[in-house]
Chain A
Amino acid sequence: KAGVTQTPRYLIKTRGQQVTLSCSPISGHRSVSWYQQTPGQGLQFLFEYFSETQRNKGNFPGRFSGRQFSNSRSEMNVSTLELGDSALYLCASSSPGTGVGGYTFGSGTRLTVV
């Protein structure tokens, strides 16, 4: 059974640019959540999508956005990149059968903003 797939694995972008990250959840999982992981702030919740609807949003500026498609694949977008956006972005999927918070995480996309 394939795991959660995140692409690309690594990205280098320049300040002011925008970036789109992709996440393919485990087949059958309809909930996709995104987290930002940094050495200073740890793991912080960005947003959760379920059946193409944003169900929750963390405390991040509007530059961070996401969406989910009918096949449950999700993308997140960061516009007007800042140096502080450099982080590992993790996607996690779950289903009602896995219970609340019973995530399967992807390996992440490491974004470096220069």
Chain B
Amino acid sequence: AQSVSQHNHHVILSEAASLELGCNYSYGGTVNLFWYVQYPGQHLQLLLKYFSGDPLVKGIKGFEAEFIKSKFSFNLRKPSVQWSDTAEYFCAVNAPGNNAGNMLTFGGGTRLMVKP
């Protein structure tokens, strides 16, 4: 079974700082990769997803993520964070070759606090 690790549980940044959140997964086959975000008091929302093709994917609100197959990683980045980016971020993987359907395996989440 696949698993997902997010190494940073809590991150505190000042506005305009650059962000990189780590995500590693364990699964040897083809994967679909996702980042979801949960803003305070709101429901989970899809930030971006990778299925195939260009390993650098761009999502909403200026976020991007890079899939590095050799490292089993899918790190999330943003060049300049804003206070409104304060949220919890979840990395997730789907393994289509595992008859997974829509099933996602989520990482434990990273809480980001951006200081104004």
**Residues of A participating in the B interface, judged by any CB pair closer than 8 Å:** 3-4, 31, 33, 35, 42-45, 48, 50, 55-56, 58, 90, 92, 94, 99-103, 105-108
Which one of A56, A94, A108 contacts B99 once the chains associate, using CB atoms below 8 Å?
A56
* CB <8 Å contact, A105 and B43: yes
Contact of B108 among A42, A45, A50 (CB under 8 A): A42
Judge whether A55 and B49 touch: CB under 8 Å.
Answer: no
Total inter-chain residue pairs, C-beta < 8 Å: 67
Taking the closest CB of chain A, its distance from the CB of B90, in whole angstroms, is 7
B43 near A101: Cβ-Cβ < 8 Å: no
Give CA–CA (A107, B96) in the complex, Å. 27
30 interchain pairs, CB-CB under 8 A = A31-B101, A31-B102, A33-B103, A35-B106, A42-B106, A43-B90, A43-B92, A44-B106, A45-B104, A45-B105, A50-B101, A56-B99, A56-B100, A56-B103, A58-B103, A90-B43, A92-B44, A94-B102, A99-B49, A99-B51, A100-B32, A100-B51, A101-B32, A101-B92, A102-B49, A103-B102, A105-B43, A105-B44, A107-B43, A108-B43
**Residue of A35, A102, A103, A107 contacting most chain B CB atoms (<10 Å):** A103
What separation, in Å, do the CA atoms of A101 and B99 have in the docked complex?
13
A101-B94 in contact (CB<8A): yes
- Give CA–CA (A54, B101) in the complex, Å: 10
